[in-house]
């Protein structure tokens, strides 16, 4: 994971025109983006007419054996800030750095269209800001799924500067960030900037589609969902028997997912650590998604290293109050609110962290130990007291911007503390916990399976309304909005700890395979809960031996960890409610 901060602003020739406020805001942005890449930071500045272009990059080294400093540049004036990983489409040897390899490719190309073509042929999460000296064009973009964050402040009359940043430094009157769209590649003509009118230059920014009209590159965009309607497809009788028409698809899913995991866990360099320490961790709830990712990671990770399973649980006063007082929702609304606002007397309460995800996490730990007995699994119990959550909340809200809803906070809080990795481990179920901080810099995440395989309850609702056609429409909608929902926010939060999250389900190879499959091979709303949703994945998990995980029902992270609506009085706040500005 790396941090990108690009600014373009007018040069103020007179000191009385100098704007110290922007300089202060820039330093805060620089610090926030430096935290993402603790191994190296550097800045390149270019003066162009009445404008100054500043490229700042920070580096979290996860590829290659040598330290690499960003921004990448050469003596011809090409400059690249890269925040990404290349897993397919460009050969990168274990000792090589993928950013260096990509820059060597891009800097020798003739046109920005050639740059677009090169980027369309690689698979991996990325955000990029690239100045192509030969054409004097600035190209910036995110990968088709938006797995890496890139924010943009567009120049205005009041704030006449352009900012591109991996993360903001919280709300600030000097900038207003939006998440950069994944629709294509944005190209800014640097020649127009030299004229001094940055607003006009910005308004002339062109958009390159991810592939030329009539052409398609393998990794240039998202596949469309197979729209063929099934005609009374056969039903799965139980999870232990794979019907003949699904046998090949189950095997192919395991193969695609295993290959995705293999590419994402191999060749991670040892940095600042010792041999035998965990280089890989899994954001682990004990659900089917995180468990199968953990199992597949164990097949390809160094057998002499542990894998950390990061399991987070919150002290939620609202939940504890309900446990102590009983069913408050049976009370009149006014009386319920009064009790919810009452301060708990913790002198009579022992806070326990046996949240749903802790319980299922422990159960799946035993299943993983059974299947992979030679692997050391560090089940990291990350317990978050309410006071610690309250102290960290302003930091979390700043990181998740421009996300500002109650739901954003619930999810971001769980990811923030899980990624920090500070908790306890037990050498056996009955042993006393020992303090432990995960050294792993690569965090595997099971996100994406619900969208691709129909894991949400609304798929059943859609089927009841309009049958299989409605499910196809819902799957397409879920795929279309993956780039605009969680991924940028999650990247900003997790990377603040100098960690990188990787999503095996969201490899474009896996996405393409699942999108092409007929709908009835992925899910079956005619079957009971715990089998019908994500049916194909359940059959695959059961086949590899994850029998308990295969039957696990869907539970959202914020409810499983108790990070949702943390304070008494929050019970009536809807997830899409906008939080007040701090």
How large is the average pLDDT for residues 59-74?
A: 93
Alpha carbons 389 and 393: distance in angstroms, whole number: 6
* C-beta separation of 307 from 301 below 8 A: yes
CATH class of the structural domain 3-209? alpha beta
161-186 confidence digits (pLDDT tens)? 999 999 999 999 999 999 999 999 99
Q: What is the pLDDT of residue 255?
A: 98
Alpha carbons 91 and 101: distance in angstroms, whole number: 9
Which DSSP symbol is given to 508?
A: H
Confidence label for 13 from pLDDT (cuts 50, 70 and 90): very low
Alpha carbons 83 and 278: distance in angstroms, whole number: 23
Q: What is the pLDDT of residue 346?
A: 60
Q: How many CA atoms lie within 13 A of 31 on its CB side?
A: 7
Tokens of 128: 């990029």
Q: Higher pLDDT residue, 332 or 141?
A: 141
Q: What percent of the chain stands above pLDDT 90?
A: 81
Q: How many CA atoms lie within 13 A of 239 on its CB side?
A: 26
Least confident of 367-381, 462-476, 566-580: 566-580
Active site residues: 2
Phi, psi of 65 (to 5 degrees): -100, -10
415-429 confidence digits (pLDDT tens)? 999 999 999 999 888
How large is the average pLDDT for residues 513-532?
A: 96
Alpha-carbon Rg for the chain, nearest whole angstrom, is 25
Alpha carbons 409 and 314: distance in angstroms, whole number: 13
Phi, psi of 153 (to 5 degrees): -105, 120
Rounded mean pLDDT of the chain?
92
Q: What is the pLDDT of residue 575?
A: 82
CATH number of 244-266+273-312+354-372+393-560: 3.40.50.620
User: Quick check: 31 pLDDT over 70?
Assistant: yes
Tokens of 198: 């940055």
Least confident of 186-200, 392-406, 480-494: 186-200
**β 206-209/280-283 pair status:** unpaired
Task: Give the CA distances from residue 372 to residues 337, 368, 429, in Å, rounded to whole numbers and listed in that order.
Answer: 49, 6, 17
Alpha carbons 147 and 11: distance in angstroms, whole number: 34
Confidence label for 16 from pLDDT (cuts 50, 70 and 90): very low
Q: Higher pLDDT residue, 10 or 444?
A: 444
Spell out the domain ranges in the chain: 3-209, 244-266+273-312+354-372+393-560
288-343 confidence digits (pLDDT tens)? 999 999 999 999 999 999 999 999 999 998 788 777 666 655 666 676 666 555 65
71: preceding bond cis by omega (within 30 degrees) = yes
93-137 confidence digits (pLDDT tens)? 999 999 999 999 999 999 999 999 999 999 999 999 999 999 999
Least confident of 46-50, 128-132, 227-231, 298-302: 46-50
User: Quick check: 279 pLDDT over 80?
Assistant: yes
Within 8 A by CB and 6+ apart from 391, the residues are: none
Within 8 A by CB and 6+ apart from 514, the residues are: 253, 452, 453, 522
How large is the average pLDDT for residues 492-515?
A: 97
How large is the average pLDDT for residues 459-476?
A: 96
Any bridge partners for residue 313, and if so which?
A: 383
349-403 confidence digits (pLDDT tens)? 788 899 999 999 999 999 999 999 999 999 999 999 999 999 999 999 999 999 9
Within 8 A by CB and 6+ apart from 65, the residues are: 94, 95, 269
């Amino acid at each position: 994971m790396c941090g990108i901060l690009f600014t373009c602003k007018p040069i103020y020739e007179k000191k009385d025109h100098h704007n110290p406020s922007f300089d202060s805001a820039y330093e805060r942005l620089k610090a926030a983006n430096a935290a993402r890449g603790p191994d190296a930071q550097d800045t390149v500045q270019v003066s162009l007419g009445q404008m100054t272009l500043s490229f700042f990059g920070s580096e979290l080294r996860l590829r290659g054996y040598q330290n690499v400093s960003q921004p990448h540049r050469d003596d011809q004036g090409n400059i690249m800030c890269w925040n990404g990983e290349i897993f397919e489409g460009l050969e990168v040897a274990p000792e090589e750095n993928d950013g260096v390899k990509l820059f060597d490719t891009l800097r020798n190309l003739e046109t920005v269209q050639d740059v677009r073509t090169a980027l369309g042929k690689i698979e991996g999460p990325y955000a990029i800001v690239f100045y192509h000296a030969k054409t004097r064009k600035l190209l910036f973009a995110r990968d088709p799924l938006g797995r890496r964050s890139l924010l943009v402040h567009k120049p205005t009359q009041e704030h006449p500067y352009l900012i591109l940043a991996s993360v903001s430094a919280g709300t600030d009157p000097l900038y207003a960030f939006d998440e950069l769209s994944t629709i294509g590649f944005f190209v800014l003509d640097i020649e127009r900037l030299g004229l001094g009118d940055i607003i006009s230059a910005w308004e002339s920014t062109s958009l390159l589609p991810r592939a030329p009209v009539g052409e398609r590159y393998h990794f240039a965009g998202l596949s469309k969902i197979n729209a063929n309607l099934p005609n009374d497809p056969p039903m799965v009788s139980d999870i232990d028997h794979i019907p003949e028409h699904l046998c090949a698809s189950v095997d192919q899913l395991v193969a695609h997912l295993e290959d995705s995991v293999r590419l994402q866990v191999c060749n991670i360099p040892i940095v600042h650590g010792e041999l035998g320490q965990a280089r890989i961790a899994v954001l682990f709830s004990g659900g089917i998604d995180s468990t199968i990712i953990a199992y597949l990671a164990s097949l390809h990770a160094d057998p002499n290293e542990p894998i950390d399973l990061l399991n987070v649980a919150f002290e939620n006063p609202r939940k504890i109050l309900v446990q102590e007082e009983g069913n408050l929702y049976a009370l009149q609304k006014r009386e319920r609110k009064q009790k919810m606002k009452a301060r708990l007397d913790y002198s009579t309460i022992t806070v326990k962290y046996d949240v749903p995800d802790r319980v299922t996490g422990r159960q799946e730990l035993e299943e993983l130990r059974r299947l992979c007995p030679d692997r050391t699994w560090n089940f990291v119990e990350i317990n978050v007291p309410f006071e610690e959550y309250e102290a960290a909340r302003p930091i979390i809200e700043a990181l998740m911007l421009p996300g500002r809803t109650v739901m954003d906070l619930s999810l971001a809080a769980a990811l923030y503390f899980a990624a920090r990795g500070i908790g306890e481990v037990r050498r056996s179920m009955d042993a006393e916990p020992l303090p432990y901080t995960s050294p792993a810099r690569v965090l595997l995440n099971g996100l994406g399976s619900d969208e691709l395989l129909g894991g949400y309850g609304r798929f059943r609702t859609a089927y009841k309304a309009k049958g299989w056609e409605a499910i196809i429409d819902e799957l397409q909608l879920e795929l279309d909005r993956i780039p605009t929902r969680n991924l940028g926010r999650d990247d900003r939060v997790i990377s603040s700890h100098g960690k990188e999250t990787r999503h095996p389900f969201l490899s474009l190879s896996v996405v393409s395979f699942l999108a092409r499959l007929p709908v009835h091979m992925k899910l079956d709303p005619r079957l009971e809960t715990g089998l019908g949703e994500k049916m194909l994945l359940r059959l695959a998990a059961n086949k590899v031996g994850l029998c308990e995980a295969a039957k696990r029902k869907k539970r959202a992270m914020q409810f499983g960890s108790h990070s949702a609506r943390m304070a008494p009085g929050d019970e009536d706040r809807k997830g899409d409610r906008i939080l007040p500005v701090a």
